[in-house]
Amino acid sequence: MDWIKYTVDYGIIGLLILMSIVVLAIVIERLMVYRNLRLDEFKDKRKLELELTGNLHLIGTVGRNAPYLGLLGTVLGIMLTFYDMGASGRMDAGQIMVGLSLALKVTAAGLLVAIPAVTAYNLLQRRVKVLVTNWEIRHG
The reported pLDDT for the residue numbered 1 is 65
pLDDT tens digits, one per residue of 103-115: 899 999 999 999 9
Say if residue 138 is exposed, middle or buried (CB neighbours under 10 Å; 0-12, 13-18, 19+).
exposed
Rounded to an integer, what distance in angstroms lies between the CA atom of residue 103 and that of residue 5?
Answer: 10
DSSP state string for 42-58: -S-HHHHHHHHHTTHHH
**What's the gap between Cα 6 and its chain centre?**
21
Sign of CA dihedral 86, 93, 70, 2: negative
Q: What is the pLDDT of residue 57?
A: 96
Instruction: Using alpha carbons, list the distances in angstroms from residue 103 to 5, 53, 66, 81, 90.
Output: 10, 36, 15, 9, 20
* Residue pLDDT, tens place only, 44-89: 999 999 999 999 999 999 999 999 999 998 998 888 888 888 887 7
Collapsing DSSP to helix, strand or coil, 140 comes out as coil
The pLDDT of residue 3 is above 80: no
- Give per-residue pLDDT as tens, 12-34: 999 999 999 999 999 999 999 99
